[in-house]
Amino acid sequence: MVDDEHKLLKIFQISLKKRGYTVFTAANGQEARNKIRELDVDIVFLDLKLPDCNGVDLLREFTSFYPKKIYILMTAYANVENAVTAMKAGAFDYITKPVKIDQLSIVIEKAIEWLKVKEENDALKERLKQTTIIDEIFGASSVMKKIFKLVERVATTDANVLIQGESGTGKSLIAKSVHNFSARSKSPFIPVNCASIPEQLLETELFGHKKGAFTGAQSNRKGKFEAANGGTIFLDEIGEISPAFQAKLLQVTQDKAYIPVGSDEVKHVDVRIITATNRNLRTMVDKGLFREDLYYRLNIVDIYIPPLRQRKDDIPLLLEKFLDGFRKKDGRNYTVDRDALNVLKNYNWPGNVRELENAIERAVVLCQGTSLYIDDFPMEVRESKASDDIQETYIENNKPLPEKLENIEKQLILKALDEATGQPATAAKKLGISRQNLLYKMNKYFQKG
């Protein structure tokens, strides 16, 4: 704490030490320069008017030499111009004298919280460098590392690959990675979504047609298999094709040969076939909905991608990957608030990686500044936090109902105080009770002993 008011420094030092902080003081700019070099401090309070220098000038000097510390300016001369100047110079916050110790504590807690988030982000970036990466797919969990190794091994062969997993897990990215790591990487990768093409058009889409084969066929047309010759064709949503078309697809998987619609000529292609589905093809085979011979032809190597809820270790890394993309795009250093990060890590993500990416994009669009808070995320994510807050109180089922209700009330009070940055009047308004009633409950729950 840098200030020329010795009594004020002494009061702050004693009060903050009682609250568990280690506090050093300096009465002028030169003393502050000496101490910041020698001492390991995290947060620096600077008075705007010092005997030997200006606080903003000292702030600019310190932020260039010690950028990882947090700086907060204090002044008795409050105006908008001073605040803007302080923030532009690199101040974390700006407070006006006289400063109450409770106000100081709130600012310190906010600064500590920011430091923790920054440390976590730095650690995540370091892990991101060390994690296994294949093209655009990220993963630190053991299951994803096994998938990456399998992709690398199967890519060196021409074996057909069946990729199974829920929607949004990244099946198309795995397919593209198999192609990119293969000897066919210089040749075409042709994706086809079988579910999005009407059945009557799927045959001509894949195999092409001869001029005059049907009304509107005014010229010969190549199909996707011919377009993929020498490379890879990726048939997504393969579980959606009809039994009739399954028989036609079987021939091309066996012989790499097919007949275009309306033609008598057999065409041969050199293609690798990769398929994907969010359905259980083995179950479909058992029910007679999918040909068993085609299933085994397509399923030479099977890759199952588990849903994101089963590999939550990957969530922080994926989150950091998506954020980094927006940082580069917007030129802004986006970070996720600690409370929001905990919610994101615990949410089940029914839409998997795709849902996570969309949620991050929404939060980036709606955030004010560069910090993403829980209110910036979609309703489903926000509601999961409220649900978790209440459900936590039911973990200990042996507790009587009055204690469970007390726990719920405590959590709601703490949440309101947190959102109101410790201001009881604002928190009471959020809770719909009087300030006196809130103070009574705070005293009852948090001042015992």
pLDDT per residue as tens digits for the range 102-146: 888 888 988 888 888 777 767 656 655 555 555 455 566 778 888
Pairing mode of beta strands 267-268, 257-258: antiparallel
Domain end residue (candidates: 340, 356, 380):
380
> In terms of residue numbers, what domain contains 50?
6-127
Decide if 168 is inside a domain.
yes
Q: Looking at the structure, tell me whether residues 155 and 33 fall in a common domain.
A: no
One domain for residues 180 and 248 = yes
Q: Determine the Cα angle at 353 with ends 347 and 359, to 5°.
A: 65
State whether residue 311 is helix, strand or coil: coil
pTM score of the predicted model: 0.60
pLDDT at 158: 92
Q: Mean pLDDT, consecutive 10-residue segments, the chain of 449 residues? A: 89 89 92 90 90 87 86 74 70 81 87 80 60 55 84 91 93 92 93 90 89 79 93 96 91 90 90 96 94 94 92 86 91 87 89 93 91 90 66 55 76 77 81 85 68
CA-based torsion, 383, 389, 390, 391: positive or negative: positive
- Given 3-state DSSP classes, what are the helix, strand and coil percentages for the chain, each rounded to the nearest 5? 55, 15, 30
161 near 178, Cβ under 8 Å?
yes
Asked if residue 156 and residue 48 are part of one domain, the reply reads no
At 312, is the secondary structure helix, strand, or coil? helix
Q: 103, 127, 151 — which closes off a domain?
A: 127
**How many folded domains does the chain comprise?**
4
Whether 83 and 180 map to the same domain: the answer is no
The per-residue pLDDT for 218 is: 79
Contact in structure between 33 and 7 (CB atoms under 8 Å):
no
Residue 398 pLDDT: 60
Supply the pLDDT for residue 228.
95
Same-domain check for residues 149 and 298: yes
Instruction: Name the domain boundary from 127, 152, 183.
Output: 127
